[in-house]
Amino acid sequence: MTNAAPRSAVGIDIGGTGIKGAVVDLTTGALLTDRVKIPTPKGGEPKDIVVTVREVLEQLSPASDGLPLGVCFPAIVRNGRTMSAANVSDAWIGLEAEQLFEQGLGREITFVNDADAAGYAETEFGAAKGASGLTILTTLGTGIGTALIYNRTLIPNAELGHLEIDGKDAETRASYAVKEREDLSWEKWAKRLQKYYERLEFLFSPDQFVVGGGVSKHADHFLPLLKLDTPIIPAVHRNNAGILGAAALAAGPAERIA
């Protein structure tokens, strides 16, 4: 006899400005608790962030006790080690971060990149629910984050915001931050996005694109301007996507992460 799959799990989303967490219903993607958010400690040092995550879990207790725990983080995550660091201390680079969290929290975790968690949330509970084939999520924000999900299996650490477009990293030409900094119209920004998504189409032949990040709430201003062979749709879960995806990956079979 096999144990039944858990019906709920905890998701923690670590960002450069805030650390958020909640208990998630794994059937619907609904939050079963209020979302707890605590500011990220100044400097983003490893030990300080672990302490803050512990505080988030304490606020979620007892609802979170004994449940699978997923933690997503703004870095390339390879075999539990953080290989980069975005908006947190450089001390994370090369750190055995998963081990650090497990020791500091006193429990096992599933540890993933934040864009990967957001992309997985959209396939489980959002815009790409029920989709087959390859979904590419792109988050258009300070940079361009990406996630690849093939038939509900996450292919981790796809740093496709660094594809070269016009001789530069795509995110230095087409992120939402660039649009705001250069005061680009929706039309001019869409021309840059067009080049980026065309390159993704050529390289990966995806079945659909999902566009996340805060700008996705303005999707009607720019997505209709893109002329692609691949369907492109806005994400559903913006602020909660990391929490939902981290929780779902923590509770799912190991095969959900390639």
Cα 124-33-111 angle, rounded to 5 deg: 50
pLDDT in tens, the chain (258 residues): 445 667 999 999 999 889 999 999 999 999 999 999 999 999 999 999 999 999 999 999 999 999 999 999 999 999 999 999 988 999 999 999 999 999 999 999 999 999 999 999 999 999 999 899 999 999 999 899 999 999 989 999 999 999 998 899 999 999 999 999 999 999 999 999 999 999 999 999 999 999 998 899 999 999 999 999 999 999 999 889 999 999 999 998 777 887
- What SS3 class is residue 138? strand
The pTM of the full predicted model, rounded to 2 decimals, is 0.91
CB atoms within 10 A of CB 186: 14
Mind listing the domains of the chain with CATH numbers? 8-112 (3.30.420.40), 127-234 (3.30.420.40)
Amino acid letter for position 6:
P
Q: Let me know: does 21 contact 36? Beta carbons within 8 Å.
A: yes
The secondary structure element, H or E, covering residue 119 is: helix 114-125
Q: Let me know: does 36 contact 24? Beta carbons within 8 Å.
A: no
pLDDT score recorded for residue 221 = 97
Q: How far apart are CA 197 and CA 21, in angstroms?
A: 32
Instruction: Specify the residue for token string 């992120």.
Output: 175
Instruction: Specify the residue for token string 């993933």.
Output: 112
Amino acid letter for position 228:
L
N residues, the chain:
258
User: Where does residue 90 rank: exposed (0-12), middle (13-18), buried (19+ CB within 10 A)?
Assistant: exposed
- What SS3 class is residue 94? coil
3-state SS string for 99-146: HHHHHHHCCCCEEEEHHHHHHHHHHHHCCCCCCCCEEEEEEECCCEEE
Question: Tokens for 81?
Answer: 């080690």
pLDDT score recorded for residue 5 = 67
pLDDT score recorded for residue 3 = 57
